[in-house]
Chains A and B, each alone.
Chain A
């Protein structure tokens, strides 16, 4: 429910400004079953060289823990303005998170990647837990993660 509302807010907030060239992308992050509390995730876009471009979603209620999503934090500078209005609850073991975001057409098939950093309390922090190139062709093909992420996929 929360997620739905947040997503709606996101659509309103981001979508309206760039409605003309934007494309609706649904990203699904499925987690492994692991032992522990809910995982914090940063879902963001990088360019072909791995340089941070834009935050798509932050899963996890306490922003003070976002610094543990290290590559995202390094790229974004951890600034609140980067993720304002794009946050939701942490994702529990074995669950999956589906978000819908508007992404500029120009970023698709342009070498950009969707990347996920993850962290769980008292456990490992994963930089680049999962990463998938954002291409028309790659839509619908899940990519396995290295940490808590079991599979990352998107549909255009």
Chain B
């Protein structure tokens, strides 16, 4: 709901807001530019009488003196019946320049407030401002709910490229954008008389004047008492008209001054309502505070980027969820089908189940687990399909679920069933599904049927569970699951390097290009995954990427597994052969941004993404690689590039261990050996990225825990702080 509240107005208004914000950013330069050219004496230095006297020496026929909010002083005069306006120096009265509102800014202003279309345009601009306010609020709430509370609003942001850029920029700019949008909306509401405008209280027009000969302007007390900084406008009396008066407007009020006595004939404050109104207006234009104008302008500049990334995020999300026809609303659904998925594979199963249940007469609401709200008035059952990320963590679309379940308003006890998706090769098979089940159990909600698991996307296992579910809820569910076809693209093997045959661990570095050759690679960075569909299989296998798309090749590191369908296929490929694959973003496994040191730990083919991180280390932040292989002569992957990267300082330290050499050692031994350095790197805000097999990762964690214990630290604590990230297989 919150997300809709953010994305709908966003999509509607993206183009409008783009124009509004860009023109606003340009306009924000105007006060600063005016200020640069102006002489601005300190308060107390120059009175209105001083300025007027000086100006009259240069311009005997001056009709009107104005101080612009930027501080520039302006005089209107006529020469031989031709009107003129000049900027003057308030200290000398000398002419600085002819004054003309710059036509470029005038045009920009018209674009900004009315899209050059007068009243209909003004209405559109006002609507844009209101939408912007809505975007700011819904965005802030969205961010807070995703971060897990308002207090965590400033925590580091994780996510893919556009998501992260969008969130970080918006977080930095939201206050400025809110000021601009709220004040703009308010001005528009006044313009269209939806809000009553506070009228400035005006001084009475004087009924009588002294009528005696005028005194020199510099001697007039009322004008001497007003500081130049408070001046808005001084209109001179007509020469030779003893009955005429000075008309003076300041920031606080307006009135009339007698030209003979120099006293106020009448004066009135504008009133606090009108003063507040002017304040808001000047807040919007930045006229009175040029620096604030620039800050607001800078904030506005983020809007074009936010608009583009926002639309991209929306599109990605839209594409990633299968289109469900007849997805029931949360408020009217009798069956909730919530999905936890990292790679979207689980959605395909959810769609099949949704269609089956709907055909059987249920009102099914399908949503990511993260959208749990607790408000399901008609729900009779809760079905959860979820995968697990890494070592028992929640997948992306379920990361908030447990928090939300605990904090959302209590729903009625719902009978539930959980189906886990995973791969039995991994230790913590379907661990997150078990966590969800445990959380539901802890609430003592009735269980419909025992938690079951689907190994490696097995359609049969899924169909079996569905029919068990069907009989448990007395509804025939005879479903047939067809795997989602992924939009793969052919990858052509361009280069291969082979290692490890002497130690019976045949390993290859494979470099692919696109086929046909001149198409560009999909966008990816080292650490992302490529999913390869081996011929004759519907189940993709994933490999960590060792290169970024801008390197021009897609590079992976593969060890041939005994009975491994995909690794055998890949390792047997000849140059020029093709494999089908698609990219899976893996934003979790990335070095955190910044300059802090990075400790890379891996063994065997786990070096792939780590080598990719080093290759991409253009900023030369400290990077240390701990890597374990078997025999330096046989399977030292990336040996030459690593030496080059050491030489050009992309890599600061290389620590290798080999298990089949005369002094066998594993990577964790190397860590223990260099523990002083590891601890020093961690102490200077270093982070650790581990890639490789699960056993190695376990051994590494064990060794690090031993090393960290004296410092009252642990791997678990580093993990929680986002400074210890594993990508294991």
Residues of A within 8 A of B (CB): 35-36, 50, 64, 67, 70, 73-74, 77-78, 122-128, 144, 146-147
**Chain A positions within 8 Å of B238 at CB level:** 127-128
Choose among A36, A123, A124, A147 the residue with the greatest number of B CB atoms under 10 Å from its CB: A124
CB contacts (< 8 Å) of A126 on chain B: these are 83
> Chain A nearest CB: distance from B74 CB in Å?
9
Chain B stretch 60-104: residues in CB contact (< 8 A) with chain A: 63-64, 76, 78, 81, 83, 85, 100-101, 103
- B103 near A147 (CB under 8 angstroms)? no
Tell which of B83, B103, B205 has the most Cβ of chain A within 10 Å: B83
Residues of B within 8 A of A127 (CB): 235, 238
- CB proximity of A22 to chain B, nearest CB, Å: 29
9 smallest beta-carbon distances between A and B, as pairs: A74-B205, A124-B76, A147-B83, A146-B81, A122-B101, A70-B247, A146-B78, A35-B103, A67-B202
- Measured in the bound complex, the distance between the Cα atoms of B81 and A74 in whole Å is 24
Take A35-B100, A122-B101, A124-B83 as given contacts and tell me if A70 and B202 are in contact as well, using a CB distance cutoff of 8 Å: no
Please name all residues of chain A whose beta carbon is closer than 8 Å to the beta carbon of B197 when the two chains form the complex: 64
Nearest CB on A from B276, distance (A): 16
A70 — which chain B residues lie within 8 A by C-beta?
235, 247
B117 → A minimal CB distance (Å): 14
- 8 Å CB contact of A125 from B64, B103, B241: B64
Sample 16 A-B pairs with CB under 8 A, ordered by A number. A35-B106, A36-B106, A64-B197, A67-B202, A73-B205, A77-B205, A78-B202, A123-B85, A124-B63, A124-B76, A124-B83, A127-B235, A127-B238, A146-B78, A146-B81, A146-B83
Q: What would 11 more interface pairs be, CB under 8 Å, given A50-B241, A124-B76? A: A35-B100, A35-B106, A64-B197, A73-B205, A122-B101, A123-B85, A123-B101, A124-B64, A127-B235, A146-B81, A147-B83
CA distance in complex: A31, B101 (Å)? 19
User: Is residue B199 contacting chain A, with contact meaning CB distance below 8 A?
Assistant: yes
Kindly list chain B residues whose C-beta atoms are within 8 Å of the C-beta of A123: 85, 101
Inter-chain CA distance A146–B76, complex, in Å, is: 12
- The residues of B with any CB-CB pair to A shorter than 8 Å are 63-64, 76, 78, 81, 83, 85, 100-101, 103, 106, 197, 199, 202, 205, 235, 238, 241, 247
| Docked complex Cα distance between A31 and B272 (Å) | 37
Q: Smallest Cβ distance from B76 to chain A, in angstroms?
A: 5
| A74 contact set on B, CB distance < 8 A | 205
The interface residues of chain A lying within 8 Å CB-to-CB of B81 are: 144, 146
Contacts of A128 in B (CB 8 A): 238
Q: Do A36 and B85 touch across chains, with their CB atoms under 8 A apart?
A: no
Bound-state Cα–Cα, A129 to B80, Å:
14
How many whole Å from A91's CB to the nearest CB in chain B?
15
Q: Which residues of A contact B101 (CB under 8 A)?
A: 35-36, 122-123
User: How many angstroms from the CA of A76 to the CA of B554 in the assembled complex?
Assistant: 82
A128: min CB distance to chain B, Å: 8
Residues in A with CB closer than 8 Å to B85 are: 123-124
User: CA of A73 to CA of B245 in the docked complex: distance in angstroms?
Assistant: 13
CA separation between A12 and B652, bound complex, in Å? 93
In angstroms, Cα B143 to Cα A143, docked, is 66
What residues of A have a CB within 8 angstroms of the CB of B63 in the complex? Answer: 124
Bound-complex Cα distance A144 to B101 (A): 25
Q: Give Cα A156–Cα B304 distance, bound, in whole angstroms.
A: 59
Alpha-carbon distance A73/B241, docked complex (angstroms):
18
Q: Compute how far the CA of A146 lies from the CA of B81 in the bound complex, rounded to whole angstroms.
A: 6
CA distance A73 to B100 in the complex (A): 27
Interface centre among A64, A67, A73, by most chain B C-beta atoms within 10 angstroms, is A67
Return the chain B residue nearest A124 by Cβ.
B76
CB neighbours of B202 from chain A (8 A): 67, 78
Tell me whether B83 and A125 are in contact (CB under 8 A).
no
